[in-house]
Structure formats: structure tokens, C-alpha cells
């Protein structure tokens, strides 16, 4: 078994799927740790090509020898809700001005997609978390 590499830093970048470039925010974030930026961009774009258009967070771990690994997460709940409601953005004053609505079925679909990244034991709790996000964005949940 090879010796374990020493972890230097772990951070998350939210990037458009299949469209990572060395320009900010990728370049500065990776450059300060001495990571090969183009190598990351090529690997990220190859893995996220099927989700083009969505924002896919990548949790990047940088090691002492300047190598890296990354784990792809699911798109942010807010982005999924905006897409499901068909609105350009959330409300500036969410408890007074409502911008759109989603159905319970759409809420369950989003919760199932996000389940691996949520701190929930079952799908009902995951739905409640996503419903809270919707409420704070000015999106109503219809039964």
C-alpha cells in the first residue's frame, strides 16, 4: 500500500458544468496552491459534460505534492428550485413578494436528487429542507 499523501487544503468551487476555464474563480483558487489549473479544467469539464448548463459544485482536495482530487456534488437546491419554478431569480423580499411556485412532486424530485448532499435521514425530512429553501426564496409550495 502506498504511503498516504498529506492533505494541505480542501475547498469548494461552484462552476458551470462543462465550462470551467483558467479564468477566475478557478485560476486564483488553484494557482495559490500550485495545482495544475488546465489539468483540473479538463478533468472537471469531462466529468460534467452531461450536465451542461447547471452549476455543479466541486469539492477539491489539494495534497502536499501539489496533486489534487475532486468530488462532484449535486447542483445547489436554490438553482434546482429556480429551474423547477421557471423564474429568473428568487424574491428580494421573500415573505411579502412571491415569485413562483412548485408542486409537491417537483419538491420530492429535487429532494431525491439532493439526498446524498443533505443532512436528512429520510426523503420526508429532505423535502422539508428543500421546502424551507423555497420559502426563503419567495417560492410557494402547492399541494
Q: How far apart are CA 95 and CA 10, in angstroms?
A: 36
* pTM assigned to the model: 0.74
- Mean pLDDT, consecutive 10-residue segments, the chain of 143 residues? 77 85 82 85 86 85 86 87 84 82 88 84 88 87 82
Average pLDDT over the chain, rounded to whole? 85
| Model confidence pLDDT, tens digit, residues 74-93 | 888 888 888 888 888 877 88
SS3 at position 140: strand
For residue 92, what are the contacts with CB-CB under 8 A and spacing of at least 6?
138
Q: How far apart are CA 35 and CA 70, in angstroms?
A: 12
What are φ and ψ of residue 141, in 5° steps?
-110, 120
Bridging pattern class, strands 68-72 and 55-63: antiparallel
Amino acid at each position: 500500500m502506498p504511503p498516504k499523501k498529506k492533505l494541505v487544503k480542501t475547498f469548494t468551487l461552484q462552476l458551470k458544468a462543462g465550462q470551467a476555464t483558467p479564468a477566475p474563480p478557478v485560476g486564483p483558487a488553484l494557482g495559490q496552491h500550485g495545482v495544475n489549473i488546465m489539468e483540473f479544467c479538463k478533468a472537471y469539464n469531462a466529468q460534467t459534460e452531461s450536465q451542461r448548463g447547471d452549476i455543479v459544485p466541486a469539492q477539491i482536495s489539494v495534497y502536499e505534492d501539489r496533486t489534487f482530487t475532486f468530488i462532484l456534488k449535486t447542483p445547489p437546491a436554490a438553482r434546482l428550485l429556480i429551474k423547477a419554478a421557471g423564474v429568473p431569480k428568487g424574491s428580494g423580499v421573500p415573505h411579502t413578494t412571491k415569485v413562483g411556485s412548485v408542486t409537491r412532486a417537483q419538491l420530492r424530485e429535487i429532494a431525491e436528487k439532493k439526498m446524498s448532499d443533505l443532512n436528512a435521514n429520510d426523503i420526508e425530512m429532505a423535502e422539508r429542507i428543500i421546502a424551507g429553501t423555497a420559502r426563503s426564496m419567495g417560492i410557494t409550495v402547492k399541494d
